[in-house]
């Protein structure tokens, strides 16, 4: 009898490892790619290069967290990159051209991004326009609007106090990295430790069931797009600071594609209900390490685009198989 009980309680060897791989796929993929790069890519292991990867990843992490929240609802925001370009121009025009105080200019740009996301959410939730069509259309509207209000020109030589928001040194890093860390901590708590996070996951997993159970489904749905718009605007402001100019074509479709890739590789599901801040962070680092390796080996940028296409296709195939969609 005791032996029978022991057999029931016994866990298969390596069970914890399989569980870790299943629940932390992005971390495992990152470790594999990172070790490969350490061994085979010259100069990858230098401290300077490691710090550069962290700095390069900071802004995409902010945007990726927003995208992950939208993906958790079963939607997608293809306007993200165009939101970045539009809010970049808004910040540049207000602060440089019109002389608005820096804090007010930044707040205004963030408010514009929030409003864009809120509008996307309303169209998807209330009007029932598919998220793909809604956000793609919004994106092109934003691109055209940014070109019009900026007259197609780049706004250069931004004020030093504006640039200081993201470029002030903090040890070997800068304040942009600290802002990204703060955003990650806040939304980790929101998604993993709060009622809102559980409601968001429940909505994405089964919208009808979440509505019947009393979850304010509509508010949850719209808020995910609004938060994505806000974080896109924050990424736009920080990217403007980083390159010291505001451009209407900053971000765009390529940037959106990169962020969607990072979110999916990080474990967010296109079918909704799944997504974590930790996964988003490692998804971005996977993309940035691959990009860094390609740059260090001197390979043409076109290869990077092809590799990203392969990465997202494999991630989608894996997601479909896992969810028995194929």
pLDDT at 3: 46
pLDDT at 8: 46
Residue 118 three-state SS: helix
The contacts of residue 197 (CB under 8 Å, 6+ apart) are 190, 191
pLDDT at 200: 93
Q: Of the ranges 85-89, 167-171, 227-231, 249-253, which one carries the lowest mean pLDDT score?
A: 249-253
Q: What is the mean pLDDT of residues 91-107?
A: 96
Query: 90 φ, ψ to 5°?
Result: -60, -45
Q: Of the ranges 172-176, 269-273, 281-285, which one carries the lowest mean pLDDT score?
A: 269-273
Distances (CA, A) of 320 to 56, 145, 254: 30, 37, 24
Q: Tell me which of 298 and 180 has the higher pLDDT.
A: 180
Q: Provide the β-strand partners of residue 169.
A: 174
pLDDT at 2: 47
The fraction of the chain above a pLDDT of 90, given in percent, is: 70
**Residues 133-153 pLDDT 10s:** 999 999 999 999 999 999 989
pLDDT at 5: 47
pLDDT at 298: 82
Q: What is the mean pLDDT of residues 107-128?
A: 97
The contacts of residue 6 (CB under 8 Å, 6+ apart) are none
Radius of gyration of the chain (CA): 21
pLDDT at 312: 75
The contacts of residue 2 (CB under 8 Å, 6+ apart) are none
Q: What is the mean pLDDT of residues 191-202?
A: 92
Q: What is the secondary structure of 48-93 as a DSSP string? A: HHHHHHHHHHHHHHHHHHHHHHHHHTT---TTHHHHHHHHHHHHHI
Q: What is the mean pLDDT of residues 72-81?
A: 95
**Residue 176 clears pLDDT 50, i.e. is over it:** yes
User: Running DSSP on this structure, what letter comes out for residue 127?
Assistant: S
**Residues 15-56 pLDDT 10s:** 655 555 555 778 888 999 999 999 999 999 999 999 999 999
Average pLDDT, the chain: 89
Residue 180's nearest CA partner among 285, 257, 100 is: 285
Residue 169 three-state SS: strand
pLDDT at 307: 79
Residue 228's nearest CA partner among 106, 86, 88, 115 is: 115
pLDDT at 110: 98
pLDDT at 19: 55
Residue 185 three-state SS: helix
pLDDT at 190: 95
The contacts of residue 236 (CB under 8 Å, 6+ apart) are 83, 84, 85, 86, 87, 88, 91, 109, 113, 250, 251
**Residue 11 clears pLDDT 60, i.e. is over it:** no
């Amino acid at each position: 009898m005791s032996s029978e009980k022991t057999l029931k309680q016994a866990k298969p060897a390596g069970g914890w490892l399989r569980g870790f791989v299943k629940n932390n796929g992005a971390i495992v993929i990152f470790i594999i790619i990172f070790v490969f790069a350490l061994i085979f890519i010259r100069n990858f292991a230098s401290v300077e290069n490691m710090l550069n990867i962290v700095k390069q990843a900071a802004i995409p992490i902010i945007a990726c967290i927003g995208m992950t929240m939208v993906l958790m609802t079963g939607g997608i925001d293809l306007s993200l990159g165009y939101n970045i370009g539009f809010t970049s121009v808004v910040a540049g025009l207000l602060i440089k051209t019109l002389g608005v105080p820096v804090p007010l200019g930044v707040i205004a740009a963030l408010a514009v991004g929030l409003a864009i996301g809120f509008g996307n959410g309303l169209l998807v939730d209330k009007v029932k326009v598919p998220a793909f069509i809604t956000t793609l259309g919004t994106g092109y509207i934003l691109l055209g609007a940014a070109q019009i209000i900026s007259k197609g020109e780049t706004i250069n030589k931004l004020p030093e106090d504006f640039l200081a928001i993201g470029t002030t040194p903090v040890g070997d890093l800068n304040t942009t990295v600290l802002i990204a860390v703060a955003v990650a901590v806040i939304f980790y708590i929101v998604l993993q430790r709060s009622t809102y996070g559980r409601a968001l996951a429940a909505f994405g997993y089964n919208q009808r069931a979440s509505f019947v159970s009393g979850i304010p489904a509509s508010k949850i749905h719209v808020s995910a797009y609004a938060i994505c718009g806000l974080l896109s605007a924050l990424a736009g402001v920080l990217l403007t600071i980083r390159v010291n100019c505001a451009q209407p074509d900053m971000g765009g479709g390529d940037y959106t594609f990169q962020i969607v890739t990072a979110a999916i590789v990080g474990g967010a599901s296109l079918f909704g209900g799944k997504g974590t801040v930790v996964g988003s962070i490692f998804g971005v680092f996977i993309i940035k390490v691959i990009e860094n390796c390609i740059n260090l080996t001197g390979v043409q940028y076109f290869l990077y685009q092809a590799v990203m296409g392969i990465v997202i296709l494999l991630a989608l195939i894996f997601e479909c198989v896992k969810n028995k969609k194929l």
